[in-house]
Structure 1
Amino acid sequence: MRIGLVVDSACDLPPSFIEANNIVILPITLHLGSRDQIDERDVEQTRRFYAENWDGHGDAGTSAFSTDQIKSLFLSKLVIDFDFVFCLTIASSRSPMFDNAVKASFAILNDYKPHRAEAGIAGPFALRVIDCQNLFAAQGVLAAEAVRMIKSGENPVKIRERIEYLVQNLHGYMLPQDLFYLRARAQKKGDRSLGWVGAMLGTALDIKPLIKGHRNTTGPVAKLRHFDDGARRVFEYAASRVRRGLLAPTLVVSFGGDLERLHALPGFEELQRVCGDCGVELIESMLSMTGGINVGPGALTLAFADEPHDLPF
């Protein structure tokens, strides 16, 4: 059986990983002032995006692919290239992508037969849309596990059960750089959790909120002083969880800008070493343009699958 994997462009994985594993990108449309741009996880496009330092204080935005656009992508390509497709989407609490994909799936399953017959392909087609209930690097953890299981020859039922189990045990963390930017984006979406006073004081004192995503809920779980020191503490914490043993052998880190800046952050080299020693694949990626618009340039995200646990700070 030919099993395919689709992720939306908010999923943080490097283009080399996406290409090597034949992952299909479900694009997200970016609204940058007077122009629109499609986020397809192109590395050079993403580099230029961060280098331009767009005026992001509330002006930029994103739009999920519509039901009709998703249906068109599947019927024109995916129902021919694959027999079963897993579609992993960004958290349904943060985007309509999951709902759009579910609606599209009904039409796809009703209409796929003539397309496969015309291409001379026998047999049925099936798909499963899964809400990752998380963001950015956390989506990458699920995609990497799906790839691992597809390569090992597992059947769709076991893959689905495994991914749905990991969804409930997925821990994503994000450390922003610019609190005023984060506040402007949150307010545009109706989220008042980071007020003007909090943003002003946090910036003046160089205090960054550590934000956690888990089971379709996102919110601050700690306050860390100075971005670089905060990153070090997050990396040290992640390394301690790796040593204890994760539920999936992958940890994903993404950064809103050039990865040389990520490599220079204190604690990252030690996290790499610990992952290597423990047989955990550390995947690093630029934060998607979609992610950059929503949380600001220079943001750090990190994710892994693990049992419930408390932060040490």
Structure 2
Amino acid sequence: MKKIAILSDSACDLPDSVIEKYNIKLLPLRIIYHDREYRDRIEIKPQEVYDNIEKEVPKTSLPVPEDIIDAFDSLVDEGYTDAIVITISSNLSGTFNLIKLLARDYERLNVKVYDSKTLGIFLGFIVKEVAAIAYNQNMEDIMNKAKEIRSKLKGCYVLKTLTYLRKGGRIGKVEGTVGELFNIKPIIGINDEGVYFTIAKIRGRKRSISKIKSMILEEFKDKKYNIAIIHGGAEEEALELYESIKNIGHIIDGHISQISPALGVHTGPGLIGYAAYEV
């Protein structure tokens, strides 16, 4: 009898309640300061990163191989025969390639690795949807479900500054270096290849958040959908945005999500945006 597990990395931003409900295994990315190192979401929380980011911008790195192998071993001990690992975009992290390499040589479990070409709660939505059906579906159907949800995802965000995205080398196709001098805020999305790009350029923070609200209205006003308002150290603005959109269309599942430390390092404090898909 096959028993299929779902794994992801800590950049999926799913709340602990969902992780526990579906027994999703998280592979922690690493947050590296000059004198210490933390496992993302296990040994450090997002607000700690934002509180100290003026003093030091840490680096991030892949899960250590030992954590990945330990997770595989744990699944075998729990009676799982198969596993699907859904990772952060391979164009933003080497996590996908590392896990694929380790899975190839791991003989106690049949492992498939899926490159989500996204990150954060966008990735989390895929993981949650497939975890909900993993108990009664085969590997192929679960992989197809992951691709289906990925194709439906909509969303974007705006930052207070592009400084951290640029420092971390994650700037992708985002424009706006000169525009920052004139308070031009790029609305940033992630394309089908898992790379950041500019959706629109708006002057000022209030107008940029208002633009995000209008994008939600345009996309979902007559639809049933799941949505997460995402933020990085900007909870008050996230609450305001959620209140302003909660009567748009028919929200099946809506919540506010703070991005993980591993992502917050590259965006800095002040990120605000949304991730959603029609159901």
TM-score using structure 1 length: 0.77
98-107 vs 158-167, which moves further: 158-167
- CA pair 257-192 structure 1, distance change in 2 beyond 3 A: closer
1:12 equivalent in structure 2:
13
Pick one of 243, 246, 253 that aligns with 2:229.
253
* Identity level (%): 23
In structure 2, the partner of 1:262 is 238
Supply the AA of the counterpart residue of 1:233.
K
Computed over aligned residues only, the root mean square deviation of the Cα atoms, in angstroms, reads 2.7
Query: Is 1:272 the equivalent of 2:246?
Result: yes
Which deviates further from its counterpart, 130-139 or 233-242?
Answer: 233-242
In 1, distance between residues paired with 2:20 and 2:235? Answer: 19
Match of 2:88 in 1: 90
Q: The residue matched to 1:178 in structure 2 has which SS?
A: coil
Stretches of 4+ moved more than 6 A in 1? Answer: none
- Aligned counterpart, 1:138: 122
Shift of 1:102: 0.8
After superposing the two structures, state which structure 1 stretch, 221-230 or 64-73, moved more.
Answer: 64-73
Distance 1:262 1:31, change over 3 A: same
Q: Partner of 1:104 in structure 2?
A: 102
Cα distance in 1 for residues equivalent to 2:60 and 2:92: 11
More helix by share: 1
In 1, the alpha carbon distance for the partners of 2:20 and 2:206 equals: 32
Letter in 2 for 1:209: P
Cα pair distance change 1:232/1:33, threshold 3 Å: farther
Gaps of 5+ in 1: 113-124, 307-313
Q: CA deviation at 1:130?
A: 0.7
Q: 1:30–1:61: 8 Å Cα contact kept in structure 2? A: yes
Using the alignment, how far apart are the partners of 1:241 and 1:160 within structure 2? 26
Shift of 1:232: 2.5
1:126 aligns with 2:110: yes
User: What amino acid maps onto 1:228 in structure 2?
Assistant: K
- Asked whether 1:242 is paired with 2:220, we answer yes
CA gap of 1:163–1:132, structure 2 versus 1, over 3 A, is: same
- Alignment partner for residue 286 of structure 1, among 258, 264, 278? 258
Distance (Å, rounded) in 2 between the aligned partners of 1:95 and 1:170 = 20
Match status 1:227 vs 2:224: no
Do 1:136 and 1:301's aligned partners in 2 also have CA atoms closer than 8 Å?
no
Paired residues of 1:141 and 1:251 also in contact (CA < 8 A):
no
Number of positions where the alignment pairs a residue of Structure 1 with one of Structure 2: 276
Q: TM-score, normalised by structure 2?
A: 0.86
Which structure has the larger Rg over C-alpha atoms? 1
Asked if 2 retains the 8 angstrom alpha-carbon contact of 1:180 and 1:200, the reply is no
Q: CA deviation at 1:194?
A: 6.2
